[in-house]
Structures are given as structure tokens and as C-alpha cells.
Structure 1
Amino acid sequence: MTVEDLWWRWVDRLEDRGWGARAMLRPPAGDDVIAAAGEVVGAFPDELAALYRIADGQLETRHVDGPWTNLFPGHEFLSLAGARRAWQGWADIRAAYAPADFDGMITVRGDDPVHRVYTRAPWWPLAEDGGGNHLMVDLDPPPGGTVGQVLVAGPDEDERRVLAPGIGAYLAALLDADLDPPDADQLADGVAWWDAPGLR
């Protein structure tokens, strides 16, 4: 099944549970915009590029009529421009710190094939939780890993863990996640966050 098929199945599942996912979507990104963003990390894996060809992230709350919601567990799907800003923020940290300042506190879950470091240039921020933590797409994993695997990094995330070997596999896992519907208070507040803790 293609990333496009999986994505629309995922959006439909959110819709079916009462989360207004379709209203969140930004228009697709053009190939030139995707290529320019990908140059920051060398090039995007095919599945990541395919996702941006469907939607260039999600709209900000001020651009949504009705309740806003996230499209990944506890995380907002970043536009290419937003992801580039987040990547630059991580680059600024790398320029300012010595590895000993942060890397010593980082652990790796079990045998997950991920570098035990605080931040790396080949990690592309796919989604953000609002507190500086990101779902990352790993463009340069260690032996045993997969280019394009989805992992977690951030100031509140000392444990590096691989959520899925790629975007397609991550979307497939999301389709199996338990999702509660939003409650009336969330909808009335205009921001309705949902979560699937095992997938973030």
C-alpha cells in the first residue's frame, strides 16, 4: 500500500472518530519546494517526499474554521517551512554545545537502531508537540536502522526510540491505534488534542 493510500485511510479514521482532520490539511507542496527543503539533509526518502506531495503539513489554529486538532499523536504535522525552522533551531543547538553537555543523559530503548545522541543534522523534524519535542525522520541511522525511520527527540525526550522503520509503516501503525473521540469541552475550547502514547 502506498503512502498516499495509508495517509488518506488515516485521515478518514481520524474523521470517523470525530477529529476534523481534513480541515487541518495544507495544500500539497510542489516538487521544487520539497527538493529545496530536502537539500538541508541531503535528500528526502521517497516516502517522506510522497507525504509532502499530499499535504505540506497542517494549518495553524488561526487559519482553521472550527476546532483545530493535531494529525500525529500529541504532535502537529509541520509544514516544510515550519520543519526547516525547527531543523535550524536544532542546528543552532549543535553549534553552541559540546556533545558532553547533553549526550551523556541520552539513552536508547532496548536494541532500537538509533544513535545515542541529543541531536543530529540528518534528523528531519516531521512533527512538533509545542514544547520543542519532535517526531524525527532519520536520514542517517546506525547499522541495523532504516533510512527514513521515525524516531523521537527533544528536551523532554531523553530516551531515543524508533517508532517505525518508515513513514508508511508509521501510518500503518497509527491505523491500528486506539482513538477516543474528542469530548465536548475540547471542541468548545477550539483546540482538540488527541494522543496515542505508544506511537510518540
Structure 2
Amino acid sequence: MREQWEQIERILRTHSCLDQIGLRQGTSCDKIAAVESHLGVNFPDSLRTLLAIHDGQDGRAGLVGGEQLLSAEQIQREWDVWRSLDEAVMNADCADFMASHPKGVIKPVYTNRAWVPLTKDRGGNHIGLDFDPDGQGTVGQVIRFGRDQDTKLLVAKSFEAFVEKLVISLSESKWNGEYLESNI
């Protein structure tokens, strides 16, 4: 993971936007463990390493397709916001129009306590880890979910694969003065 972060930092320097992206200093292993305990999950070692190197962003331009990379504290806060909803009621109310792509990989529900947000946009949508996949999915897969995401999308089969995609996306991106124009 350190090598991938070095690649990401080199790419951001090349685009002259490292300062605007605002990567934060890493957090402690104790803080990461406290968040894992609160959420009831064990992060992949690669995510722990990522948070220890850079604990999210400071709120400037989004690193991941325009979305902010969350700190450990923000991951917990966003997860708590989702837990404040009545999961059973929301899932029942939205059941008719929830879907998964590919079908059978992500449970087609509105919210799931085993989805852990890693990024956020300004509209309540996330890229995150799925610790409760549907029958054809993989524990720890990376998905798109959120308020406007009726069809939950598979982004990568693992966190490591997600970071690889991020590096490629950033290397092909363009800085427009406010955010990186990239696809992920």
C-alpha cells in the first residue's frame, strides 16, 4: 500500500494538485481499531495501512472521481448517519426499485449495516466496502451505494483491486483547477 500511495502522490505532484487534494497525516492503529470495533468489522490490512499513511482528506478537491476520501473518524460518522435510519423500514419501502449490478453480487437493499463508506460526494453517496455481499459477491468487495444509488454497483472485487484502479484512473486524469477529472 505504501508503494501505491507513493504512486498517487507522484501523480498528484505531476498534476500540480497535491496541495489542493489535501491528504491528511496518518492516524494511529488505536484509532483504526476503535472504528473497526464501533462498526463491528475488521478492515483489510491494506485499508489499515492506507489510513496509517493518509487519514483521508481535509475537505478540498475530491481524490476519488471527485469524491472525498474519508478519514477513520469520518468513516464512523457517515456509518452512524446510515444507522440512524430505520433499516428495516427503508429497505421495505425501497425494495421494489433496488437492484445490483452485476445481479446477485450486492444485496439489492437501500442500506446495510455491513456497508462501510470510504468516500462521499456531496449528495449522500459513497464508495465503500461490502462485508455482507449477495450470493455471487465477495466479502470485502468495493461498491457504490447511497441515497441516489438505487442500483448498487460493483467497483472492485477487493480493496486492493480498488486502489489499483484508483492509481490507473489518476494517472489518466486531468486536473481542471478544482478537481481531478477521472473515472472510477
Return the TM-score normalized by structure 2: 0.88
Q: Relative to structure 1, is the Cα distance of residues 23 and 69 closer, same or farther in structure 2, using a 3 angstrom cutoff?
A: closer
* Residues in 1 aligned to 2:139 and 2:22: alpha-carbon distance in whole angstroms: 28
The question of 1:57 aligning with 2:51 is answered no
Structure 1 residue 19: Cα displacement: 2.4
After superposition, the CA RMSD in angstroms is: 2.0
Alignment of 1:61-80 (within 5 A): 68-80=60-72
Q: Relative to structure 1, is the Cα distance of residues 11 and 113 closer, same or farther in structure 2, using a 3 angstrom cutoff?
A: farther
Structure 1 residue 111: Cα displacement: 3.9
Question: Contact 2:175–2:181 (CA<8 Å) still a contact in 1?
Answer: no
Q: Relative to structure 1, is the Cα distance of residues 113 and 195 closer, same or farther in structure 2, using a 3 angstrom cutoff?
A: farther
Question: Contact 1:91–1:121 (CA<8 Å) still a contact in 2?
Answer: yes
The question of 1:123 aligning with 2:115 is answered yes
* Residues in 1 aligned to 2:113 and 2:101: alpha-carbon distance in whole angstroms: 21
Runs of 4+ in 1 over 3 A off after TM superposition: none
Secondary structure in 2 matching 1:7: helix
Q: Which runs of 5+ in 2 are unaligned?
A: none
Q: Which has the higher contact order (CA 8 A, sep 6+)?
A: 1
For residue 27 of structure 2, the aligned residue among 26, 29, 43 is 29
For each residue in 1:134-171, what CA deviation from the matched residue of structure 2 results, as whole angstroms up to 9, or x when unmatched?
A: 11111222333222211111111111111111222112
Aligned-residue sequence identity (percent) comes to 29
Q: Give the match for residue 47 of structure 1.
A: 46
For each residue in 1:165-186, what CA deviation from the matched residue of structure 2 results, as whole angstroms up to 9, or x when unmatched?
A: 122211211222231132xxx3
Structure 1 residue 22: Cα displacement: 8.0
2:93 corresponds to which letter in structure 1? Answer: D
Q: Give the match for residue 140 of structure 1.
A: 132
* Residues in 1 aligned to 2:179 and 2:20: alpha-carbon distance in whole angstroms: 15
Question: Contact 1:57–1:79 (CA<8 Å) still a contact in 2?
Answer: yes
Q: Relative to structure 1, is the Cα distance of residues 73 and 33 closer, same or farther in structure 2, using a 3 angstrom cutoff?
A: same
Structure 1 residue 112: Cα displacement: 6.1
* Number of aligned positions between the proteins: 181
The question of 1:181 aligning with 2:146 is answered no
Secondary structure in 1 matching 2:102: coil
Structure 1 residue 90: Cα displacement: 0.5
Structure 1 residue 29: Cα displacement: 1.2
For each residue in 1:108-130, what CA deviation from the matched residue of structure 2 results, as whole angstroms up to 9, or x when unmatched?
A: 12346111111100111101011
1:140 corresponds to which letter in structure 2? Answer: D
Structure 1 residue 92: Cα displacement: 1.0
